[in-house]
Amino acid sequence: MNIILLGPPGAGKGTQARILETERGLTQLSTGDMLREAKDSGTEMGKMVAGVMARGELVTDEIVIGLIREKLAAGGSGFIFDGFPRTLAQADALGALLEEMNQTLDKVVELRVDDEALVARITARSTCGSCGEVYNDLTKPIPADGKCSNCGGTEFKRRADDNEESLKTRLMAYYKQTSPLIGYYYAKGNHAAVDGLGEIDAVKAEIAIALA
């Protein structure tokens, strides 16, 4: 099963992707993680990525598609696309790649959120410095003993851009570039929407229904 999780920054895509990895054996393909991994790999593709990043240039869609192709070729139980596609052109490119490799995109799950509630959620967010587990001052505070419930780490951090002004800028970019994908995948018949502001287990249950 190959799926895309769509939603604005802070909608909970990372949290739900980790649950899907654990419970369904899917592999999360995060653009950022793939680029960092490639940069340090020493492969031809990795050298290309390292060169682009060293020059401070944007990594092209062709490079990202190349990295995804390598992951798909390695096999697995299925993939969760996280951070890609972000644009209609990237959606077309991903669709062509999957067809080329005789694979399908089974479902696109949109995590819908209210902007004001999202801003409140994100400005209260922190992550474990060791494993990336996400905490929130309001809905999922850091455990009283100061240790991550996932890995036992004791260092927590907040993203520098997790503030109201930066978040509104990121939301604008999402609505301009990525939200058109909702209509794109709806027209293809594989879009499903869930309430991204529910409790983690409630969102998980809605996603399970969407994927059934």
Which residue among the candidates 18, 24, 69, 125 is catalytic per the annotation?
125
Q: In angstroms, what is the C-alpha Rg of the chain?
A: 17
Q: Is 125 a catalytic residue?
A: yes
Which residue among the candidates 13, 39, 107, 121 is catalytic per the annotation?
13
Q: Is 86 a catalytic residue?
A: yes
Please identify which residue in the block is written with the tokens 């997790």.
162
Q: Is 159 a catalytic residue?
A: yes
3-class state of residue 136 by DSSP? strand
Which residue among the candidates 86, 112, 140, 147 is catalytic per the annotation?
86
Q: Is 121 a catalytic residue?
A: no
CB 48 within 8 A of CB 54: no
CB contact burial 80-96 (16+ within 10 A = b; e otherwise): bbbbbbbbeebbebbbe
For the chain, the helix, strand and coil percentages under 3-state DSSP, each to the nearest 5? 50, 15, 35
DSSP letter for 166, please.
H
Which residue among the candidates 18, 140, 170, 204 is catalytic per the annotation?
170
CA distance 121 to 64: 30
CA distance 21 to 15: 10
Which residue among the candidates 24, 140, 158, 159 is catalytic per the annotation?
159
Please identify which residue in the block is written with the tokens 């058109």.
180
What positions carry a catalytic annotation? 13, 86, 125, 159, 170
